[in-house]
Structure 1
Amino acid sequence: MEKRLYVGNLSYNTTEDEVEALFQQAGAVEACHLMLDKFTSRSRGFAFVEMATVEEANKAVKLFNDKDFQGRPLRVNIARPREERPPRRNQNVHRSGPSENH
C-alpha cells in the first residue's frame, strides 16, 4: 500500500508549510511538495504529501478528506503511481531550410 497522498482543492494562497503542518496532525510527514506553476510560481491548488507509514497515510485520508481547510473542502486520497509519458516535442523549434514562399 502507498504512503504518498494526493491533496487537492487547496487554496492558491496555501503554502507548503501550512500543508505540512496540517498533515503532521496525522503523523510524521516525510515530504511535502506543493505544485507550483512554472511561469508564475503560484500554487496550482494541489500537493503531494508522503507520510512515514501506510497507517499514517490512511489516517490522514480519514482525517482530512472533505475537511474544510482555509475555506475549501480538501480532496485527500492515496496517490496513483506516476505514469510514464513520452518526451514532449519542442514546439518552439524553427526549421531551417529553403522557404516555400519565394
Structure 2
Amino acid sequence: MHLPPNGLQSLVCQRPHYAIAYEQAGDVTFVHCRVDRWSAMVSRALRRDFYSLMTMRMGPLYAYKENPDAKFIRFANRMGFRVYQVFGAWVVFRRDEA
C-alpha cells in the first residue's frame, strides 16, 4: 500500500455541512470526509449517510492520516474505523462492511 494514494476522488455524498468522497487505489477504496461545521445534528446525519453508503458496497473501506491527533482518532472510531496499519507517520484505518 502506497500512501498517500493521490488518486481521483469521487464525491458520493454532498450535504450542506459535510461531504464524503471515495478514492480508489488498486483494489482498496479510501474514504475522505470533509466536515465544515460540527454539531450533534451533523454527527447523526453523517453517521446515517455513512451507514447507508456502507450498505451499498461490498468490502471494507480505508482511511489514512499523517500523524493523526486524538481528535481525528476519536472521529475515526466514532465512524466505525479501527487502526489497521502504520507506515512511519501514516496511519491507515479500516472499517469492515456494515
TM-score above 0.5: no
RCO greater where, 1 or 2, for CA within 8 Å and sep 6 or more? 1
Q: Which has the higher strand share?
A: 2
Give the structure with higher Rg (CA).
Answer: 1
Q: TM-score range by the shorter chain?
A: 0.3 to 0.5
Q: Which has the higher helix share?
A: 2
